[in-house]
């Protein structure tokens, strides 16, 4: 991951706090965009870069915890670091269960925040990478003809060329042609590679931002 | 009286209807007192007015043995006496016997206090018994006895004259006498000769009298008739019934009583529960108020603190790194200073909110508030085995103030005192609350038997967030102090020989309020 491509979003209703965090985070070479409320954040145009969200629990309008839930519902999968002036255990548990990276009590140690930001960015970077890979795979898969997809599906389920030929009513040679074309289009180096690719396509969610 | 007597029907020999005697009865009826009459007959003893009894006799001596003391007692008791004698006794026999027995007998005779007549003469009119007349005679005699100042009429009648053919009529007469005598001031002793009496006659006599005297084994005995036995058993039954009902009623009353006792206990429990609930509520409310306050303080103060710490850290990083940009550092430090002032302003604002923002002043009775606070905290006191004593002055002026806030101060001081006494390991756990007048208003003191306040802490205890309690947040005394100050009074500790002593003053007028 490249630091310059990463961006840290800060949502806190207190401008002083926002500015201080921006200053601190920028001092370690990260970009910062800050907002006074959840709505402001949602309205902003955000680049599809690796990012994380430093979120105050107590916000005007919708609170931080509810905002976290809304983000998840809207499939906005930005890792969240909560900061709060008075965190209690139930609040912390709720936030962490909903996938928060960290829950920091104000005033926090600067290193704790920076560590949490790094972890969050790493997590987001990994996710984005994985999603990019899947997008590529899907693209490749979508370039297959209907017959090729059919053959791939039977190949990965462990059937022999002969069996496939019998099933779709063609010759074994034709199956071999479909199969090698599909391997080529999918850029699979081996049968095992192809199986893995199909598995990933099947198990991972369709789309994410 | 005589005109009424004329209304009585002419007599007949066959009379079976009580209507014949109605006029007589109406006339002779007198209020019968409860006092008993001496019969003079040892075995009978005393009887009430309206007693109608009989004896069967064999000899003249039997008659004299009984009737002489009977009339002697009557004369001595101031009763008018009428003795109708029959065979074998003569009027002379009777008179002589009485003269021997009664000291001033002749005087009684002279006064006509006693009449001795021949039975035959008395009962018979010609050769037939005129029992209607006899009844009238009893009535007249009784009336005249009372009119002449006698206590009543004492009679003995004899039946020796009675011929068998009149027996049934006489028996009816006796029956009537027996029925109505109970309301007359009269006692009647009838004598029947045993000789020649048939069993049926004896039964009739027994039926028509209340009881009999009979000679048995050489002495006299009282024999109750079946009627009397019945009556007595009826009385006993009624008595038992009454007693049973009394017992029932008593038991019902006892049950009701028990029920009421239970209800009282129940009510007491409910009241205690209510008080506990109130105390709980007060505690919860206090905790909530405190919790909310703490949250507000935490948030409001933490925001600038977060900015300060973060900016400070940024400055340190910048100063330590090779790429110093002093302008950036300067900007950060400027914000640090401004956030510092902001934090301090937050504190002032909160204190201001607590003390001035919600003032709702009324005229307060501080003693009543002290008592209310002790009621609210009773549970807490008992749970910690702390005894609370109050010495409240009765001439206190009312003070203007915010009831909720001052109640908060009182509760706070008492809770502190409870906690302090609980910490003391020895001696009495005691709290004393005093109220007194002071020159410009009043003074309230709360003293505990706890370990007291260490001298070096004494001037810090009113600072916000200062606490010696394991779970305290250190706002109680600070807030209390602010509240009292805002009421124009002072809250302070006073050096004391035992435990801690807090006192506050409140002015009686608003002069001291800023």
| Measured distance CA(B303)–CA(B310) in Å, rounded | 11
Radius of gyration in angstroms for the set of CA atoms belonging to chain B, rounded to a whole number? 53
Pick the more confident residue, B231 or A121.
Answer: A121
**In this structure, how many other beta carbons lie within 10 angstroms of the beta carbon of residue B7?**
9
Structure tokens of B168? 């049934």
> From B335, which residue of chain A is nearest by alpha-carbon distance?
A16
If we measure between CA atoms, which residue out of A13, A97, A120 comes closest to residue A63?
A13
Say which residues have a Cβ less than 8 Å from residue B38's Cβ, sequence separation at least 6: B45, B46, B73, B76, B77
* Cα A45 from Cα A33, distance rounded (Å): 11
Q: Which residue has the tokens 């009679």?
A: B155
Give the nearest partner residue to B310 out of A85, A86, A110, using CB atoms: A110
pLDDT given at position B514: 39
- How far does A41 lie from chain B, in Å, by closest CA? 20
The helix (run of H) or strand (run of E) holding residue B501 is strand B501-507
Identify residues of B whose CB sits under 8 angstroms from chain A CBs.
Answer: 294-295, 298-311, 313-314, 317-318, 321, 328, 331-332, 335, 338-339, 342
Name B378's Cβ contacts closer than 8 Å, sequence gap at least 6. Answer: B275, B279
Pairwise CA distance, residues A195 & B364, whole Å: 85
Same domain, A83 and A168: no
Question: In chain A, what residues touch B306 (CB-CB under 8 Å)?
Answer: 14, 17, 20, 83, 85, 106-108
Q: Which residues of B touch A36 (CB under 8 A)?
A: none
Return the H-helix or E-strand segment holding A91.
helix A89-97
* A25: closest chain B residue by CA: B314
Q: Structure tokens of A20? A: 């201080």
Query: Quick one: which of B489, B488, B491, B492 has its CA closest to B514?
Result: B488
Among A20, A27, A83, beta carbon nearest to B317: A27
Read off the tokens for B59. 């000899």
Q: Which one-letter DSSP state was computed for residue A49?
A: S
Of A128, A157, A183, the domain-final residue? A128
With an 8 Å Cβ cutoff, are B307 and A108 in contact?
Answer: no
Mark residue B499 as left, alpha or beta (left: phi above 0; alpha: psi -120 to 50; beta: remaining): left
Transcribe B429-486 into DSSP letters.
Answer: -EEEEEEEEETTEEEEEEEESS----GGGTTTTTSTT---SSS--S-HHHHHHHHHHH
Strands A31-35 and A7-11: parallel
Place of tokens 């003249």: B60
Pairwise CB contact (< 8 Å): A107 & B335: no
Residues of A with CB under 8 A from a CB of B: 14, 16-17, 19-21, 23-24, 27, 58, 83, 85-86, 106-110, 113
CA-based nearest residue to B499, from B427, B420, B436, B422: B420
Asked if residues B151 and B184 have their Cβ atoms less than 8 Å apart, the reply is no
How far does A74 lie from chain B, in Å, by closest CA? 29
Would you state the torsion angle of the CA atoms of residues B351, B352, B357, B358, taken in this order, to the nearest 10 degrees? Answer: 30
Closest residue, chain B, to A114 (C-alpha): B310
Q: Are A10 and A54 in contact, with CB atoms under 8 Å apart? A: yes
Contacts of residue B263, Cβ cutoff 8 Å, sequence gap at least 6: none
pLDDT classification of A114: cutoffs 50, 70, 90: very high
Q: Across the interface, which of A23, A58, A108 has its CB nearest the CB of B332?
A: A23
| Out of B294, B311, B318, closest to residue A20 by CB | B311
Contact B366, B506 (CB under 8 A): yes
Nearest CA in chain B to A104: B306
| Residue A111, pLDDT score | 93
Higher pLDDT, A107 or A32: A32
* Contact (CB, 8 A) for B198 and B168: no
Can you list the pairs that B96-100 forms with residues at least 24 positions away whose Cβ atoms lie under 8 Å? Answer: B97/B64, B97/B68, B98/B68, B98/B71, B98/B72
Q: CB neighbours of B24 closer than 8 A, spacing ≥ 6?
A: B5, B8, B132, B135, B136, B138, B139
Closest CA relative to residue B70, chosen from B33, B32, B97, B104 = B97
Q: Looking at the complex, report in whole angstroms how far the Cα of residue A16 sits from the nearest Cα belonging to chain B.
A: 6
Classify residue A122: in a domain, yes or no: yes
Q: How many angstroms separate the CA atoms of B154 and B223, rounded?
A: 21
* Enclosing domain of residue A20: 3-128
Whether residues A16 and B302 touch (CB distance < 8 A) is answered with no
Mark whether A35 and A7 lie in a shared domain. Answer: yes
B485 contacts B406 by C-beta, under 8 angstroms: no
What is the pLDDT, as a whole number, of residue B505?
A: 93
Residues in B touching A16 (Cβ below 8 Å): 303-304, 307, 335, 338-339, 342
Taking CB atoms and an 8 Å cutoff, what residues of chain A touch B302? 85-86, 106-107
- Pair A193, A201: CB distance under 8 Å: no
Residue A151 maps to a domain: yes
- Whether residue A119 is predicted with pLDDT greater than 90 in this model: the reply is yes
Residue B107 phi/psi, 5-degree rounding, is -65, -40
Contact A107 B302 (CB under 8 A): yes
CA distance, residue A12 to nearest chain B CA (Å): 10
Q: Do B303 and A106 touch (CB under 8 A)?
A: yes
For residues A174-187, average pLDDT: 92
Q: Name the helix (H) or strand (E) containing A180.
A: helix A172-186
Cα–Cα distance measured from residue B67 to residue B119, given in angstroms and rounded to the nearest whole number: 14
What is the distance in angstroms between the Cα of A205 and the nearest Cα belonging to chain B? 39
Q: Which residue in A has a C-alpha nearest to residue B294's C-alpha?
A: A86
What is the location of CATH 3.30.565.10 in chain B? 361-512
Nearest to B37 by CA among B28, B24, B50: B50
**A101 inside domain:** yes
Backbone angles phi and psi of B188, in degrees to 5: -130, 125
Task: Mark yes or no for CB contact A20/B342 under 8 Å.
Answer: no
A15 plus A66 within the same structural domain: yes
CB B453 within 8 A of CB B500: yes
Whether B303 and A23 lie within 8 Å, measured CB to CB: no
B339 neighbourhood in chain A, CB within 8 Å:
16
A137 inside domain: no
Whole-angstrom Cα distance, residue A102 to residue A64? 13
- Last-in-domain residue among A79, A94, A128: A128
Phi, psi of A64 (to 5 degrees): -60, -40
Among A11, A22, A27, A81, the residue to mutate for chain B (most B Cβ within 10 A): A27
Q: How many CA atoms lie within 13 A of A113 on its CB side?
A: 32
Report how far residue B505's alpha carbon sits from residue A80's, in angstroms, rounded to the nearest whole number: 54
CA distance B362 to chain A (A): 37
Residue of B294, B303, B343 best to disrupt the A interface, most CBs of A under 10 A? B303
Could you give the percent of chain A with pLDDT greater than 70?
93
Q: What is d(CA B419, CA B283) in angstroms, rounded to the nearest whole number?
A: 14
pLDDT string in tens for chain B (514-residue length)? 333 333 333 333 333 333 344 444 444 444 455 578 888 888 888 888 888 888 888 888 888 888 999 999 999 989 999 998 887 888 889 899 999 988 888 898 888 899 898 887 778 777 777 778 888 888 888 888 888 889 899 999 887 777 777 778 788 888 877 777 777 888 888 888 877 777 777 777 777 777 777 766 667 777 766 666 666 667 777 778 888 888 888 888 898 999 999 999 988 888 887 777 776 666 666 665 666 666 667 777 888 899 999 999 999 888 888 777 888 899 999 999 988 988 887 777 666 555 544 456 788 899 988 988 887 787 778 878 888 899 999 888 988 888 777 888 888 898 888 888 887 766 778 899 999 998 888 999 999 988 888 777 777 777 655 666 655 556 678 778 888 888 889 998 888 888 889 999 999 875 444 3
- From the list B294, B307, B317, the residue facing A20 with the nearest CB is B307
| Residues of B whose CB is below 8 A from A58 | 299
Vertex A160 angle, CA A154 and A162, to 5°: 110
What pLDDT shows up at residue B284? 61
Across the interface, whether the CB atoms of A23 and B298 are under 8 A apart is answered no
- Total beta-carbon pairs less than 8 A apart between chain A and chain B: 74
CATH code of the domain in which A97 resides: 3.40.50.2300
Over the Cα atoms of chain A, what is R_g? 23
**What are the start and end residues of each CATH 3.40.50.300 domain in chain B?**
2-224
The two tokens of residue A9 are 């979003």
**Residue-level pLDDT at B18:** 37
The set of residues, in sequence order, having a beta carbon less than 8 Å from that of B409 and lying 6+ positions away, is B480, B483, B484, B491, B504
Q: Which of A128, A152, A177 is the last residue of a domain?
A: A128
Distance CA A103, CA B190 (A): 121
Q: For chain A, what is the domain count?
A: 2
CATH H-level, domain B2-224: superfamily: P-loop containing nucleotide triphosphate hydrolases (3.40.50.300)
B474: left (phi over 0), alpha (psi -120 to 50) or beta: left
Whole-number pLDDT of residue B466: 63
The fold of the B361-512 domain, in CATH, is Heat Shock Protein 90 (3.30.565)
């Amino acid at each position: 991951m490249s630091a310059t491509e990463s961006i840290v979003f800060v949502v806190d209703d207190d401008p002083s706090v926002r500015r201080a965090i921006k200053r601190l985070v920028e001092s370690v070479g990260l970009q910062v965009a800050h907002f006074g409320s959840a709505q402001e954040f949602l309205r902003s145009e955000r680049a599809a870069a690796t990012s994380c969200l430093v979120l105050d629990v107590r916000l005007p309008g919708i609170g931080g915890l509810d905002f976290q839930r809304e983000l998840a519902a809207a499939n906005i999968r930005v890792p969240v670091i909560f900061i709060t002036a008075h965190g209690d255990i139930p609040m912390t548990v709720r936030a962490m269960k909903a996938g928060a990276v960290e829950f920091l009590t104000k005033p926090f140690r600067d290193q704790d925040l920076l560590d949490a930001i790094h972890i969050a960015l790493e997590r987001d970077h990994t996710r984005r990478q994985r999603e990019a890979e899947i997008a590529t795979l899907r693209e490749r898969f979508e370039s297959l003809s209907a017959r090729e997809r059919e053959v791939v599906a039977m190949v990965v389920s462990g059937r022999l060329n002969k069996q496939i030929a019998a099933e779709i009513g063609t010759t074994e040679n034709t199956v071999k042609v479909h199969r090698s074309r599909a391997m080529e289009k999918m850029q699979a180096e081996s049968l095992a590679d192809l199986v893995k690719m199909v598995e990933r396509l099947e198990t991972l969610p369709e789309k994410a931002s | 009286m005589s005109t009424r007597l004329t209304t009585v029907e002419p007599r007949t020999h066959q009379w079976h209807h009580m209507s014949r005697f109605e006029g007589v009865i109406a006339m002779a009826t007198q209020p019968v007192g409860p006092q008993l009459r001496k019969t003079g007959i040892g075995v009978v003893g005393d009887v009430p007015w309206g007693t109608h009894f009989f004896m069967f006799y064999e000899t003249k001596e039997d008659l004299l043995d009984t009737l002489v003391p009977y009339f002697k007692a009557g004369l001595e008791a101031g009763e008018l006496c009428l003795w109708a004698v029959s065979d074998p006794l003569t009027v002379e026999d009777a008179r002589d016997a009485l003269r021997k027995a009664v000291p001033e007998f002749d005087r009684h005779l002279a006064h006509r206090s006693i009449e001795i007549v021949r039975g035959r003469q008395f009962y018979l009119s010609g050769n037939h018994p005129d029992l209607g007349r006899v009844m009238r005679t009893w009535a007249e005699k009784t009336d005249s006895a009372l009119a002449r100042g006698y206590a009543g009429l004492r009679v003995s009648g004899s039946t020796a004259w009675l011929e068998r053919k009149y027996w049934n009529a006489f028996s009816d007469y006796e029956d009537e006498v027996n029925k109505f005598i109970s309301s007359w001031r009269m006692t009647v002793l009838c004598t029947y000769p045993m000789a020649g009496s048939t069993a049926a006659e004896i039964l009739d006599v027994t039926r028509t009298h209340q009881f009999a005297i009979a000679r048995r084994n050489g002495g006299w005995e009282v024999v109750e008739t079946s009627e009397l036995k019945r009556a007595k058993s009826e009385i006993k039954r009624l008595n038992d019934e009454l007693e049973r009902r009394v017992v029932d009623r008593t038991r019902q009353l006892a049950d009701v009583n028990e029920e009421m006792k239970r209800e009282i206990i129940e009510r007491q429990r409910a009241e205690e529960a209510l008080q506990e609930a109130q105390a709980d509520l007060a505690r919860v409310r206090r905790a909530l108020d405190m919790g909310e306050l703490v949250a507000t303080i935490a948030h409001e103060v933490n925001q600038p603190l977060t900015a300060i710490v973060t900016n400070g850290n940024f400055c340190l990083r910048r100063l330590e790194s090779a790429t110093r940009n002093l302008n950036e550092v300067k900007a950060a430090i400027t914000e640090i200073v401004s956030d510092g002032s902001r934090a301090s302003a937050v504190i002032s604002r909160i204190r201001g909110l607590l003390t001035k923002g919600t003032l709702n002043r009324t005229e307060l009775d501080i003693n009543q508030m002290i008592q209310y606070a002790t009621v609210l905290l009773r549970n807490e006191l008992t749970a910690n085995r702390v005894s609370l004593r109050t010495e409240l002055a009765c001439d206190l002026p009312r003070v203007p103030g915010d009831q909720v806030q001052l109640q908060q101060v009182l509760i706070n001081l008492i809770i502190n005192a409870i906690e302090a006494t609980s910490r003391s390991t020895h001696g009495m756990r005691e709290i004393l609350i005093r109220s007194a007048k002071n020159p410009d208003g009043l003074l309230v003191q709360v003293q505990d038997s706890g370990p007291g306040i260490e001298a070096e802490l004494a001037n810090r205890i009113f600072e916000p967030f200062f606490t010696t309690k394991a779970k305290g947040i250190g706002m109680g005394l600070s807030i209390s102090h602010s509240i009292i100050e805002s009421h124009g009074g002072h809250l302070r500790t006073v050096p004391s020989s035992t435990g801690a002593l807090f006192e506050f003053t409140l002015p009686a007028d608003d002069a001291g309020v800023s």
